[in-house]
Structure 1
């Protein structure tokens, strides 16, 4: 297996990028919906808030974003469209040649049209993490084997952190009021550390799977004397 198609067949990497890619896309769509509801009005500047004046979103600063589109309704529609493309590509395209580079490009486009800061950042991290070397020049060591075992746990922790932020903090706000800042920051740290560890673990898993298995010596058939 050569290095011209890095991580093309890595099941762990495809899973990590696919799952977190859906979360990034859904978060981008949520930004887009907030912008659509504001109607065909011009933003006050490049930096906007997707959900201004909504008490439930105050814990996350009204969902800040940026847009180069001079109309919030159009910005919101484009954000939903680009988020949908991101969701599809994270599942079907990342294993293709230059697929990770395309994922980075889609994420940067999402940033420009109003998809917030967190979702595009997550998409860029996934794109960078999904690109890498092919078969390592040396046999993977103990550290690689340890990392290869943790990716499912890191994936679970990252997903828990992201869902804890949205819609978790919104649900907490509706039931008990604004959650403490320490909880919000803890969920943010859990989310991003989870995705970084999951990517590292998936790369380690690929290195193990891609390393050539040792050749087996041919078995000798036992003969009988006649």
Structure 2
């Protein structure tokens, strides 16, 4: 009979956390947030070593493609756009890597939240850090003991969590890079479209986290 060692006892919870539906949602959107932050940083790097007019900046102010997104607003506490972009790329890459590889660790969600707050301050835009903070809070529930059993509606939604996640990702990709790639082609330059897709994307993310959490409760039960 195989004996249970201390190593087994410490390894099993980590393995369980790594396989949860919540972990999948957090890693997926954390990666997307990191990639979007890198894109912001690249736009700032291309502007060169110039001083911004203030804390509020645009990552792509002279790009026709990003005009539908208002040049992608951001803010920075670094008084140089080249340095801002470099730091944004580094922090955004850390967000992506942490989300995919380490977020299930103890305090992993808190670390992700702190990284995203830093990303906000160094030119990573507004959307990517907000997404990261949302999934960071979701990550704090990875592996958490379930409370009361989910109701019937939550159970039904939980069973379809991969489809909810897929819809949320599709909504996000429709916003970015969808509006950039298809906006000029289809003439879809209505700001209302951006607002609608943004609402759908964030709403889908929250619903995906909720359905994944319900699924994890069902698995634990």
8 Å contact 1:173–1:179 — kept in the other structure?
A: yes
Aligned-pair distance for 1:178? 4.4
Which residue of the partner structure matches residue 24 of structure 1?
Answer: 33
Which residue of the partner structure matches residue 203 of structure 1?
Answer: 213
Greater share of helix: 2
Which residue of the partner structure matches residue 50 of structure 2?
Answer: 41
Which residue of the partner structure matches residue 122 of structure 2?
Answer: 113
Single out whichever of 92-101 and 151-160 deviates more from structure 2.
Answer: 151-160
CA distance in 1, matches of 2:220, 2:19: 9
Aligned-pair distance for 1:181? 2.9
- How many residue pairs are counted as aligned between the two chains? 208
Give deviations 1:14-72, integer Å, cap 9, x for gaps: 21111111111111011001100000011100010011122221111110000011110
Structure 1: gaps spanning 5 or more residues: 212-226
Give deviations 1:144-203, integer Å, cap 9, x for gaps: 312312321221111111111111111123323343333322211221111001100111
The 3 A distance-change label for structure 1 pair 145 and 178 is closer
From the CA coordinates, give the structure whose radius of gyration is larger: 1
Structure 2: gaps spanning 5 or more residues: 1-8
Which residue of the partner structure matches residue 145 of structure 1?
Answer: 155
8 Å contact 1:79–1:113 — kept in the other structure?
A: yes
Aligned-pair distance for 1:10? 4.7
8 Å contact 1:65–1:117 — kept in the other structure?
A: yes
1:161 is aligned to 2:174: no
**Could you state the TM-score of these two structures normalised by the residue count of structure 1?**
0.85
Which residue of the partner structure matches residue 99 of structure 2?
Answer: 90
CA distance in 2, matches of 1:18, 1:172: 27
Give deviations 1:85-117, integer Å, cap 9, x for gaps: 111100111110010000101110100110000
2:112 equivalent among 103, 107, 112: 103
CA distance in 2, matches of 1:94, 1:77: 24
